[in-house]
Structure 1
Amino acid sequence: MKSTNPEATSVETYFENKYEIVSGKLTEEEELYKENILDHYKNPHNKRKISHCTFNHKDFNPLCGDEITLFIKTEQGKIVDASFEGNGCAISQASASLLTDHLKKISLEQAKKLGPWDIFNLLGIRISHTRSKCALLCLKTLQEGIKEAKL
């Protein structure tokens, strides 16, 4: 997935620029995505620890208590496994579930280029500005983990 907003490639850039996410009544399509989010929250994909991962990183949102630990395993520049552990609201946990599914389909270089709008596209619904930190916690965790691992 190619980022739809090249100006906002990091979570920090997103919040510095204070992009507004439109709020309002959900469309029929967004209602379906909302059901998908609830399904990922209740039945998360990849919610487990990878014991021999290339890197892992834990982060949390001090405002609401959401926490995520991402585990990423790479081989020859390809992400071969991705998982997470964590607790929090439906948005933060569904985002992590959706992101780990997506990461297993792309290279590490592509993962480095993911931005906030990619996460919003995976979620498929409009997210209020106050809930965007919940949605983007998984991306922030990924970006900081890649940076810390010096990949």
Structure 2
Amino acid sequence: LEDLEVEEVDHSDEDDTDDEPDEEYALFPSQYSSDTSPPPPSSAEFNFDTYIAPSHTYLGDVEDTRHRIAFLDGGAILNLPLFCLRGVVLFPGAALPLRVIEPRLVAAVERALTQDDIPYTIGVICGREWLGCLTWIVSLRSLTFYHFT
């Protein structure tokens, strides 16, 4: 094992009360190697929209489903379509974008869209595990596939 020496530095007596980053501060690796790089942007220029990531805009235009929330009595027994997705864990409150092309899964989605007792609801379990979560179909888009033989 190697012994490391640690030096403690006290910055409390410095008069630097400026909260702005130093001019030499580089945000991107390319700024380290080039003197002609523009100055780093201030933190006010970075506006991260937290609604973009969960909206899954990379899926394109999707159709919102209606009446997707149902209230159930305690002890209710329901027959729901299940997605057995090996290696996929759906956490409560999380979104799970899926491209459903397998016929049995397409049938499960169609059943979920037409069931009366708890509409737009599918159970998602992790492969053959006992762990699962209920999810609602929030939006969907139909794709046309062309098969060539």
Normalising by the smaller structure, the TM-score range is under 0.3
Larger radius of gyration: 2
Structure 1 or 2: more helix by fraction: 1
Higher relative contact order, chain-length normalized (CA < 8 Å, sep 6+): 1
